[in-house]
Each structure stands twice: as C-alpha cells, then as structure tokens.
Amino acid sequence: MELTEAIYGRRATRAYSEAPVPKDVIESLIDAAIQAPSAINEQPWDFAIVQDRQLLDKISTMAKAHMIETMPSGSFPEHLHESLESPSFHIFYHAPALITISAREGAWAIENATLAAENLMLAAHEKGLGSCWIGFAQRWLETPEGKQALGIPDDFVPVAPIIIGYSATPIASVPRRPPHLRWIG
C-alpha cells in the first residue's frame, strides 16, 4: 500500500468483528511502531497487549467510572457524558485487542509514544485492520491501579491505548476543516 493511501484511508474504527488478530500480525504492527523517531534515539517504548475479553471489559468499566468521577463538569460535550453514563457503552467497542503504548518518563515521553502510535495505526490499516486511539482509557491507565493492571513499569507513562481488530463495517471518512495556514515573510 502506498503511504498516501494509508494516510488518507486510515479511519477511527468503532465496530469490530469477533475475529482475533493473530500474534504475528500484532508483532508486525509493533515492529512498524518502533520505526518511529524518538528523542535522542532513546527508543523508550513499552507495549502492553491485552486480548483477554474479561480484562478489556474490566478496564472499560473502571475507566468509565474514573472519568465520570474525575472529569470537571462542562469539560466534555454532553453526548460524551451520556456515553460514559450508559452501562452498555464499551470504551473499546468490543475490539479483540488493545495495545497500550507507554514511554519512559522524561521530557519527550508523550511525543515518543505518539509517533509510535501513528506508525502502528497506519501499519494496521495497511494490513486490513481497523484501529482507534481510546483517550477514554488514558486517565484510569495512568492511576497506580491502571498501571498495575497492564504491568506498566513505575518509570513509564501510558500514553496511547489503541484498539485493533477487523472492522465489522465499512467506515466513511471524516472530513477535515481547512488547516490554519500562515506564510510568514
């Protein structure tokens, strides 16, 4: 697949088939992820892979409760509050796999993990897989309990929880607004 096709074709996927993602495919996505640049070439990544449905359900439940408890009112659009309050809403959309990218704490932890995340999502698209970054999971995963659930080392920060799986339905693209552009000088 051409890079341009991957960049323009990747879409946040929120409906998944039951089909599991083979281990070697997950490993190939992580191999693509670690081709990302990292500050001072530190390569400070940690990847936690969860395929256990019960654990995914538990994380979804804990993360929703944590968000409701901790987020200031008015910080999110009303429909997101409604989703979080709904018992049937699963933050991982019942995807078969969650890959959480963490990075060693430091000045560029977020950048290091995020660049790896985009590589991973583009590589997933090339392999016919859907993906979605799940920000709803982040705040709980950052807690001691969340880090422990994924075995994230103490000196690492979880940044990018990404669900992966085969899409159950074709996905329409989300239009982009024109970029803010200023040509200086």
Ligand X SMILES: Cc1cc2nc3c(=O)[nH]c(=O)nc-3n(C[C@H](O)[C@H](O)[C@H](O)COP(=O)(O)O)c2cc1C
Residues of this chain that interact with ligand X (CB under 6 A) are 11-12, 14, 132-136, 174
The arrangement of strands across the sheet holding 45-50 comes to 45-50, 97-104, 156-165, 130-133
CB-CB contact of 126 with 6 (8 Å): yes
User: Smaller CB distance to ligand X: residue 177 or 182?
Assistant: 177
Q: How far apart are CA 81 and CA 27, in angstroms?
A: 35
Nearer to ligand X, 27 or 57 (CB): 57
CA distances from 132 to 6, 11, 14, 91 (A): 14, 8, 7, 10
- CB of residue 130 vs ligand X: minimum separation in angstroms? 10
User: What is the closest distance, in whole angstroms, from the C-beta atom of residue 110 to ligand X in the complex?
Assistant: 10
Min separation Cβ 176 and ligand X, Å = 8
Q: Which is nearer to ligand X, 27 or 86 (CB)?
A: 86
Residue whose CB is nearest to ligand X in the complex, by number: 135
